[in-house]
Amino acid sequence: MPTAPVPTAPVIRADVPGSFAWGVFHERHPVLVRQVLDALPYGPAERAAVERLLAESTEGVLEPPAADLHDHAEWLAWGSGLWGRPWGEAPFLWAESWFYRRLLDATGWFRPGTWRGVDPFAPFKDAELAGAAVDGELAALDDLAALPDEARAETLLASALWGNRADLSFRMTAGPSGATGGLLADDGPLLWSALRRADGGRVCLLADNAGPELLPDLALIDHLLGAGWASGVLLLVKPQPYFVSDATTADVVAALGRLRSAPGAEAQAVGARLWQAMTDGRLEVRTHPFLCAPLPFDAMPDDLRADLSGVAMTIVKGDLNYRRLVGDRWWPPTTAFADAAGGFPSPVAALRTLKSDVAVGLDAAVVARLDADGEAWRTVGRHAVVQVRAH
């Protein structure tokens, strides 16, 4: 079983004014809170709770979880040594996770009452999935049907990668990302060769965002199954709404419905094949509480580790999952990806567009060029990586 090296790089925190992490709490979250409260007719109690959370997360200290929360014990342990300290002194990944956990509680997701189980981000997810632009993207699948297997595979992989360029949270609070800036690391050939050596083994895809991003993920899964790259696929999604647009089981069902009703014949066929694959077990959608934990993946519990250790490859989508995969730390960007992701229990491929500070696995010349350009290349969502640890 792979083992991760002892981390030496400092964790990223949000206590430096003007930093990207500081801006998430002091600039993005206030915008997000306003949009959440405008999107659904929450009552006075829910609205007041959300406002208190915003004030606490920007000006106050970390309050321990209430005793009546179902996950009180877990969060109390996860935050050991942090309770009572300013939010900015906590690891950035941890603090963001706690913010979204508290936002769900403030809006009534967990508690008996009117708003129990109502996704506060559903209006945004639904609008994106129903958008007219999605019809065009799905119709384009018709053009892929006649491509040779390898060309189609490469196109679908690129679509799944760049679909992550600007997730819903990014667009809501930071505007469009503009043109892409290019692929900074491309281990795509290594991914396909590893899958070829696995000879149709089981593949896991750890999903990131719902809506338009999930559609190319599903198209990629359909190709893995149909072309024999995988004998079965495990699709891991979040157990609850998380980081605005992260995919849940309900979002998978909605995406399948969008495919099956799409104007293009190939999109409809993809939806029908995946629907059948779910019913016969070749595509299994599963979740786990740890997928919403504020910890890196090398801290995953034994049951999840055992599930993943049996797959030929795990494809990890998106920026948040990447931060958990390599550790949300100030690694030198030339740190080897295989070393940073060494604790993951299966061979792993990361498809990630850069929207946060952590960066590993980059060539020194590439880093020098990016730094010289003067752009905030780590966080603008215009650069991407395909990185693989094949063993």
230: pLDDT strictly greater than 80: yes
Q: What is the pLDDT of residue 5?
A: 54
Which tens digit of pLDDT belongs to each residue from 171-206? 434 444 444 568 999 999 999 999 999 888 999 999
Inform me whether the pLDDT recorded for 250 exceeds 90: yes
CA-based angle 327:332:336, to the nearest 5? 70
pLDDT band at residue 2 under the 50/70/90 scheme: very low
Give tens-digit pLDDT for 27-75: 999 999 999 999 999 999 999 999 999 999 999 999 999 999 999 999 9
Where does a domain end: 51, 76, 106?
106
Residue 159 within a domain? yes
Does 148 share its domain with 263? yes
Residue that terminates a domain, selected from 77, 106, 135: 106
Q: Say whether both 44 and 127 belong to one domain.
A: no
Rounded CA-CA distance 217/51 in Å is 35
Tell me: do 94 and 239 sit in the same domain. Answer: no
Q: What pLDDT was estimated at residue 167?
A: 54
| pLDDT(132) > 90 | no
3-state class of 357 per DSSP?
coil
Q: What's the pLDDT band for 368 if we cut at 50, 70, 90?
A: very high
This prediction's pTM = 0.94
Same domain, 159 and 84: no
Placement of tokens 């679908």 in the chain = 156
Left, alpha or beta for 284 (phi > 0: left; psi -120 to 50: alpha)? beta
Within a domain: 3: no
Among 99-113, 160-174, 202-216, 217-231, the minimum mean pLDDT is found in 160-174
Average pLDDT, stretch 243-254?
96
Q: How far apart are CA 105 and CA 66, in angstroms?
A: 10
Query: What pLDDT, on the 0 to 100 scale, is given for residue 178?
Result: 42
Same structural domain for residues 283 and 373? yes
210 domain-assigned: yes
Instruction: Kindly indicate the confidence band of residue 8, based on its pLDDT and cuts at 50, 70 and 90.
Output: confident
User: For 177, what's the count of Cα atoms within 13 Å in the CB-facing half-sphere?
Assistant: 26
Residues 173 and 230 both lie in one domain: yes
Categorize the per-residue pLDDT at 7 as very low, low, confident or very high, splitting at 50, 70 and 90.
low
Q: What is the pLDDT of residues 231-245, one digit of tens each?
A: 999 999 999 999 999
3-state secondary structure of 97: helix
Summarize the confidence of residues 272-277 as an average pLDDT: 98
Mean pLDDT within 133-152: 89
- 224 and 372 share one domain: yes
Q: What is the pLDDT of residue 181?
A: 63
CA distance 62 to 95: 9
Instruction: Say yes or no to pLDDT of 258 above 80.
Output: yes
Give the pLDDT confidence score for residue 173 in this predicted structure: 42
Phi first, then psi, for residue 209 (nearest 5°) are -100, 155
For residues 376 and 285, state if they share a domain.
yes
Q: Is the pLDDT of residue 130 over 50?
A: yes
Angle at 81 between CA 85 and CA 320, to 5 degrees: 85
Average pLDDT, the chain: 93
User: Is residue 111 a part of any domain in this protein?
Assistant: no
- Residue 376 falls inside a structural domain: yes
Same domain assignment for residues 130 and 101: no
Instruction: Give the alpha-carbon dihedral of 223, 224, 229, 235, to 10 degrees.
Output: -170
Range of the domain at 50: 20-106
Is 54 among the domain residues?
A: yes
Considering the domain boundaries, does residue 6 fall inside one? no
Q: Which of 71, 106, 141 is the last residue of a domain?
A: 106
Number of domains within the chain: 2
In this structure, the answer to whether residues 66 and 146 fall within a common structural domain is: no
Question: What pLDDT, on a 0 to 100 scale, did the predictor assign at position 200?
Answer: 87
Whether residues 255 and 360 share a domain: the answer is yes
199: domain CATH number? 3.40.50.10880
**What is the pLDDT, as a whole number, of residue 170?**
45
Confidence of residue 103 (pLDDT cuts 50, 70, 90): very high
Residues near 167 by Cβ (< 8 Å), separated by ≥ 6? 208, 209, 213, 244, 245, 318, 319, 355
Lowest-pLDDT range of 88-97, 135-144, 376-385: 135-144
Q: Please tell me whether residue 389 adopts helix, strand or coil conformation.
A: strand
- Helix, strand or coil for residue 313? strand
Same domain, 128 and 240: yes
Q: Which residues, including other chains, have CB under 8 Å from residue 198's CB and lie 6 or more apart?
A: 312, 313
